[in-house]
């Protein structure tokens, strides 16, 4: 697969994920988080929200003694309601650059990016795809295929870009979800302790007057009481606790990361650039002798033809993928200049691309390495105009 075939260049003809999948942008720009296709992360998010809400307000809070029950309803209910509102707003907002929203017709197919005409999608603050003048901090998101003002990252969990228009709604979504999960854990721990110490405290609801068997519990009080055995409540409680802890770990580190970013006055995207530059500078050897690094398995060839040094030929116009130890990027962006790809919300190991074009066949003998390195740059370096 020659990933640099000029005629088929679009925004991301060379956007290759870890498994060398070709990633193409949507033909029509996405408007917001509800534009099709929905992302399965988004579906999981809402399923978890509905599931935890049902368990919290239908099963566990009704088990609390009177005073604590009403406090839990008010506090947890307020946090969950707030989360629902800001989550919906963060998903529904169109974070596009103001000129894109004013001038662009979202129903029109996006043009194909012609690399032979332009080196980068955005040049001199003009986007060749959206065909509008954009702000300085605007980036063209590959996932949304439109320019996003104050681009922070593309969030798969809300299936929408996070930019200056919806950043604080996104941040509030993460913060309120974290707070809600902490409340749920507090409720679960209280119930667990009381069950071990004095289970009668958990049976203060008037509807328990008709339940004589202490091994029987009522779910969905006070409106739709359903009798179940203790084991069922324990299983539900363990599953909810596990889900809650997993969510808390994920959201907690995301919240801390964004608090750190705000303290540093950076966006996620700027953080990625900074990280990539630092990592690239640590691996200057790659720039000096990429073939040696390839032999060490550090570089992989995008078109898959060059598996080892023994077969190191046919490297002309090939793409080399640099396994960047950066923790936040999820894909490569060999365009280098002006497009931004999804950054997973949670820190995760991933790859970035370093693009290298060679003009001569590769030789296995270092003495015969006459290949000319025309370009070797971090693709996460979009802020640098040519
Ligand atoms: Zn654009
Ligand atoms: Zn996006």
Alpha-carbon gap, residue 278 to 282, rounded angstroms: 6
SS3 106: coil
Q: Where do runs of H (alpha helix) occur along 56-147?
A: 66-92, 98-103
- The active-site residue out of 9, 144, 155, 380 is 155
Alpha-carbon gap, residue 31 to 199, rounded angstroms: 52
Alpha-carbon gap, residue 67 to 135, rounded angstroms: 53
The reported pLDDT for the residue numbered 365 is: 42
Ligand 2 centroid to residue 292 C-alpha, Å: 37
Residue 171 falls inside a structural domain: yes
Ligand 1 centroid to residue 293 C-alpha, Å: 35
Would you say 210 and 15 are in contact if contact means Cβ atoms under 8 Å apart? no
Question: In tens digits, what is the pLDDT along the chain, a chain of 386 residues?
Answer: 333 333 322 233 333 334 444 557 777 888 888 888 888 899 999 999 999 999 999 999 999 988 888 999 999 999 999 999 999 999 999 999 998 888 877 888 888 887 788 888 888 889 988 889 998 889 999 888 899 999 999 999 999 999 999 999 999 999 999 999 999 999 999 999 988 888 888 888 888 888 788 888 888 877 788 888 889 989 999 999 999 999 999 999 999 999 999 999 999 998 988 888 887 777 654 544 444 443 333 333 333 333 333 333 333 333 333 334 333 333 333 333 445 555 555 443 333 333 222 333 333 444 443 333 333 344 443 333 32
Residue 75 falls inside a structural domain: yes
Which among 186, 362, 201 is positioned nearest to 290, based on CA atoms?
362
Ligand 1 centroid to residue 106 C-alpha, Å: 12
The reported pLDDT for the residue numbered 23 is: 59
| Ion ligand 1: protein residues whose beta carbon lies under 5 Å | 127, 129-130, 140, 147
Residue 271 falls inside a structural domain: no
Would you say 241 and 185 are in contact if contact means Cβ atoms under 8 Å apart? yes
Ligand nearest to the CA of 32: 2
pTM over 0.85: no
Q: How many domains does the chain have?
A: 1
The reported pLDDT for the residue numbered 201 is: 83
Would you say 251 and 48 are in contact if contact means Cβ atoms under 8 Å apart? no
Ligand 1 centroid to residue 146 C-alpha, Å: 4
Ligand 1 centroid to residue 254 C-alpha, Å: 27
Ligand 1 centroid to residue 131 C-alpha, Å: 7
Token pair listed for 59: 């099963």
Residue 183 falls inside a structural domain: yes
Ligand 1 centroid to residue 121 C-alpha, Å: 7
Token pair listed for 25: 């942008």
Would you say 327 and 347 are in contact if contact means Cβ atoms under 8 Å apart? yes
Residue 374 falls inside a structural domain: no
Residue entry with tokens 């169109």:
94
Which among 208, 140, 176 is positioned nearest to 53, based on CA atoms?
176
Instruction: Give the Cβ contact number of residue 161 at 10 Å.
Output: 31
Ligand 2 centroid to residue 251 C-alpha, Å: 20
Concerning whether 155 is annotated as a catalytic residue, the answer is yes
C-alpha 156: how far from its chain's center?
A: 5
The reported pLDDT for the residue numbered 81 is: 96
Residue 320 falls inside a structural domain: no
The reported pLDDT for the residue numbered 216 is: 83
Would you say 28 and 104 are in contact if contact means Cβ atoms under 8 Å apart? no
Alpha-carbon gap, residue 378 to 153, rounded angstroms: 18
Residue 52 falls inside a structural domain: yes
Tell me which residue range forms the domain holding 194: 40-263
Q: Per the omega criterion (within 30 degrees of 0), is the bond before 37 cis?
A: yes
Q: How many degrees, rounded to 5, is the angle at CA 84 between CA 81 and CA 88? A: 150
The reported pLDDT for the residue numbered 321 is: 38
Half-sphere exposure of 111 (CA within 13 A, CB side): 11
Return the exposure string of 356-369: e unless at least 16 CB atoms fall within 10 Å of the residue's CB, then b: bbbeeebbeeeeeb
Q: 148 φ, ψ to 5°?
A: -115, 125
The reported pLDDT for the residue numbered 22 is: 54
Ligand nearest to the CA of 156: 2
Ligand 1 centroid to residue 329 C-alpha, Å: 20
Would you say 255 and 175 are in contact if contact means Cβ atoms under 8 Å apart? yes
Residue 157 falls inside a structural domain: yes
Q: Determine which helix (DSSP H) or strand (DSSP E) holds 356, and give its type and residue range.
A: strand 355-356
The reported pLDDT for the residue numbered 9 is: 25
Alpha-carbon gap, residue 262 to 175, rounded angstroms: 14
Ligand nearest to the CA of 103: 1
The reported pLDDT for the residue numbered 343 is: 52
Ligand nearest to the CA of 122: 1
């Amino acid at each position: 697969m020659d990933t640099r075939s000029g005629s088929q260049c679009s925004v991301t003809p060379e956007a290759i994920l870890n498994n060398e999948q070709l990633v193409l942008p949507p033909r029509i720009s996405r408007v917001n988080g509800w534009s099709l296709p929905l992302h399965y992360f988004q579906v999981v998010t809402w399923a978890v929200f509905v599931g935890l809400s049902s368990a919290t307000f239908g099963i566990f809070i009704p088990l609390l003694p009177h005073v604590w029950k009403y406090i839990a309803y008010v506090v947890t209910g307020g946090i969950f309601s707030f989360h629902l509102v800001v989550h919906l707003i963060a998903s529904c907002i169109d974070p596009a650059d103001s000129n894109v929203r004013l001038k662009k017709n979202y129903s029109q197919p996006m043009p194909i990016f012609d690399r032979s005409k332009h080196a980068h999608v955005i040049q001199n603050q003009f986007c060749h795809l959206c065909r509008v003048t954009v702000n300085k901090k605007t980036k063209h998101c590959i996932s949304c295929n439109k320019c996003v003002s104050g681009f922070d990252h593309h969030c798969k969990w809300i299936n929408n870009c996070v930019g200056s228009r919806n950043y604080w709604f996104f941040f509030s979504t993460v913060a309120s979800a974290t707070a809600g999960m902490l409340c749920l854990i507090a409720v679960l721990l209280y119930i667990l302790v009381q069950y071990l110490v004095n289970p009668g405290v958990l049976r203060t609801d008037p509807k328990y007057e008709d339940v004589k068997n202490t091994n029987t519990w009522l779910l969905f009080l006070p409106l739709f009481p359903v009798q179940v055995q203790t084991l069922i409540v324990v299983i539900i409680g363990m599953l909810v606790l596990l889900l809650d802890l997993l969510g808390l770990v994920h959201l907690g580190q995301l919240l801390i990361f964004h608090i750190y970013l705000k303290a540093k006055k950076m966006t996620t995207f700027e953080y990625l650039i900074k990280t990539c530059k630092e990592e690239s500078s640590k691996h200057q050897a790659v720039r000096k002798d990429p073939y040696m690094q390839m032999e060490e398995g550090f570089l992989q060839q995008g078109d898959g033809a060059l598996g080892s040094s023994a077969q190191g030929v046919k490297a002309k116009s090939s793409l080399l993928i640099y396994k960047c130890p950066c923790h936040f990027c999820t894909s490569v962006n060999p365009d280098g200049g002006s497009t931004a790809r999804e950054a997973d919300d949670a820190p995760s190991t991933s790859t970035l691309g370093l693009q290298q074009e060679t003009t001569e066949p590769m030789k296995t003998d270092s003495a015969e390495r006459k290949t000319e390195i025309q370009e070797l740059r971090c693709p996460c370096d979009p802020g640098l105009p040519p």
